[in-house]
Every structure is written in structure tokens, then in C-alpha cells.
């Protein structure tokens, strides 16, 4: 697996050092969205970096946050809505979500997905934007290229080079989970009727900094953007609004987001334990260790 360019990585670390983030052991980060119009403690990526707001509608109803996404996409140098908190060190984040259309059980628009995302803060925003600086991973659910077929998408992007996997899913409530232990990132999920977690993917990202953006993402309708923009200048894609093209049809409903520590915790934010972090993280992503063993290690 490719690793980030050392220069870009250093810049990202400098940004993270100025915004120290929050350890999950030092603050209450959970949100059940019971307070209407209250996203205190959260930050929108478009506010941080200066891009247009591509969330068409935000609504609170019966303790559920509903986000109607506008035309956007997370791939390569392109960006989309991200609602995040800066988290320092190891974490175990879970979000109970449902991906639907605006009026149906599934989105009618291709590439309409949303879920949990972990992203390396960029060294610059819109005013000093440069290509090949995107480093992130996520797990989302919704509809990809086949209409009417729900999927789970996992994707990681290193220096703006994206790699994805699509697997079959169900059109119902699902709890997505991303666990960081040092340089290991474990992606798992379970539906409401499941008794246990399903481990979906493992990533070993040794150069990622201690502080990361962790939260909710979503995107839809990117294929309606003219090809010369979609596959051309990413700045133009990120800085434009294209909802008048095609038909954005994606709603991400979020019941809760909860932050905790993994049962095995070798904190990536503690320089004195970096070697130990590396040893244990290597075990978690070594496929000689079974999925069941990994899930047992990080805890329920």
C-alpha cells in the first residue's frame, strides 16, 4: 500500500499540532442529535477549508439528524460534505445511520452514499489548494452504480489516489464502526438484528498523524457533472454547485454517533509508545490473525 509523501505528511502534522484535537478519554464527544439545530462540537469541512456548502437541507426529527446531500463526491482530489470532530489518538467511533432517497427506501441517483469517514487534515484550504493532498478512508452505505442495489462501500485515498470496494448490503438501519489502534484502522458494521460485528476491512497507515478528522460524510449525483469538470480540474468540481444538473436524491439519517476507546489501546498520540503501537497494529492488520480475533481484541 502506498504511503503519503513525506513533505505533505509533515505539513499535515504541523496543522494537526496547532489544533491538538480531543482525546476520547478527556471529553464527552457523543451526540444523539436530540437538540434541534444543535451541532455544537462539530465542524463542517466547507467551513474549515472555504468550499461551498453542499448540504441541501439539515433537519432534526424525533432525535434523528437528516442530511439531504447535494451534488458532490469523495474521490481523488474531489471533496463532499464532511461533519467532523478532531480526534487525537486511538478511538472507536460508531454511527447508527440509514441511507435513503428523499422519498424512497433507496436513493434513485447513482453514487449516493454516506457513513463514517476518517481524514488527515489538509495543510491548506481553498485559497492555497494544491492537488495530491487528500488522505482519508471511509465506510459508507447507499447505492453505487447499480440502481436499486444497496451496497457498503469502503474506500481509502492516499495522496489523492483512491481505491474502493463494493459489497452487497441491506436497505435498513446499520451501525458503522471505525476503530483506530496506533496505525491500524479496523472497519466493521452490524445491522440492528445482528448479535455480532462483521469486520469489513483493515488498513495499516503508518504515516498518519495523531490528530484526524472523524465524522459523517455523504455524496450524490456526481455523474451529472459535465465530464470535463468531473474528470478534469478538481478545484472546479469542489468549488462549483451543480444541483441543477441531474437529480440529487440522497438523505443520510443519523440516530447517534458515539466515541470510545478500543479495548486494546496503544495510543497513537503518545510518542513514547510508538514502537509498541507499531508492533500491535501490525498484528491487527496481519491476516494470520483472524477477523474474529481482531474483533475480540478491539472489544464489543
Q: Percent of the chain having pLDDT more than 90? A: 80
Residue whose cell numbers read 497494529: 281
The 10s digit of each residue's pLDDT in 153-175 is 999 999 999 999 999 999 999 99
- Provide mean pLDDT across the span 286-300: 93
Could you tell me the three cell numbers for 160?
489523492
For residue 13, give every residue at least 6 positions away whose Cβ sits within 8 Å of its Cβ, in sequence order, or none: 209
3-state SS of the chain: helix, strand, coil percent to 5? Answer: 20, 40, 45
The angle at the Cα of 211, spanning 49 to 233, to the nearest 5 degrees, equals: 35
| CATH of span 6-298 | 2.60.120.200
pLDDT in tens, 262-277: 988 655 556 665 555 5
- β-strand partners of 84: 43, 215
- Tally of CB atoms within 10 A around 9: 18
pLDDT digits (tens, 9 = 90+) for 108-125: 999 999 999 999 999 889
Q: Count other C-beta atoms under 10 Å from residue 105's C-beta.
A: 12
What global pTM score does this model have? 0.90
| pLDDT score recorded for residue 282 | 78
Residue of higher predicted confidence among 206 and 13: 206
Grid cell of 59 as nine digits: 433537519
**Among 22, 143, 36, 173, residue whose Cα is nearest residue 93:** 22
pLDDT tens per residue, range 41-81:
999 999 999 999 999 999 999 999 999 999 999 999 999 99
pLDDT tens-place string over residues 12-51: 443 433 357 898 876 689 999 999 999 999 999 999 999 9
Distance CA 112, CA 49 (A): 23
Amino acid at each position: 500500500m502506498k504511503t503519503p509523501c513525506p513533505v505533505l505528511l509533515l505539513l499535515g502534522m504541523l496543522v494537526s499540532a496547532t489544533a491538538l484535537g480531543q482525546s476520547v478519554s478527556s471529553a464527552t464527544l457523543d451526540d444523539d442529535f436530540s437538540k434541534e439545530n444543535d451541532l455544537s462540537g462539530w465542524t463542517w469541512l466547507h467551513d474549515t477549508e472555504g468550499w461551498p456548502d453542499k448540504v441541501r437541507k439539515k433537519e432534526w426529527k424525533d432525535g434523528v439528524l437528516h442530511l439531504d446531500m447535494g451534488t458532490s463526491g469523495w474521490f481523488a482530489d474531489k471533496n463532499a460534505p464532511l461533519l467532523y470532530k478532531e480526534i487525537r489518538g486511538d478511538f472507536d467511533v460508531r454511527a447508527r445511520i440509514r441511507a435513503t432517497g428523499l422519498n424512497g427506501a433507496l436513493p434513485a441517483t447513482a453514487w449516493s452514499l454516506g457513513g463514517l469517514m476518517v481524514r488527515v487534515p489538509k495543510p491548506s484550504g481553498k485559497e492555497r489548494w494544491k492537488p495530491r493532498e487528500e488522505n482519508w478512508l471511509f465506510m459508507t452505505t447507499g447505492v453505487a452504480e447499480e440502481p436499486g442495489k444497496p451496497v457498503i462501500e469502503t474506500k481509502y485515498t492516499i495522496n489523492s489516489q483512491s481505491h474502493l470496494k463494493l459489497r452487497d448490503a441491506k436497505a435498513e438501519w446499520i451501525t458503522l464502526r471505525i476503530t483506530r489502534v496506533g496505525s491500524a484502522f479496523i472497519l466493521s458494521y452490524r445491522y440492528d438484528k445482528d448479535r455480532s460485528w462483521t469486520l469489513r476491512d483493515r488498513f495499516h497507515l503508518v504515516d498518519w498523524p495523531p490528530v484526524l478528522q472523524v465524522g459523517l460524510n455523504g455524496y450524490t449525483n456526481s455523474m451529472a457533472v459535465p465530464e470535463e469538470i468531473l474528470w478534469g480540474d478538481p478545484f472546479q468540481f469542489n468549488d462549483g454547485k451543480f444541483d441543477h444538473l441531474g437529480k440529487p436524491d440522497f438523505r443520510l439519517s443519523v440516530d447517534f454517533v458515539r466515541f470510545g476507546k478500543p479495548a486494546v489501546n496503544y495510543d497513537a498520540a503518545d510518542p513514547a509508545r510508538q514502537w509498541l503501537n507499531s508492533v500491535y497494529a501490525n498484528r491487527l492488520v496481519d491476516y494470520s490473525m483472524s477477523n474474529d480475533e481482531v474483533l475480540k481484541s478491539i472489544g464489543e
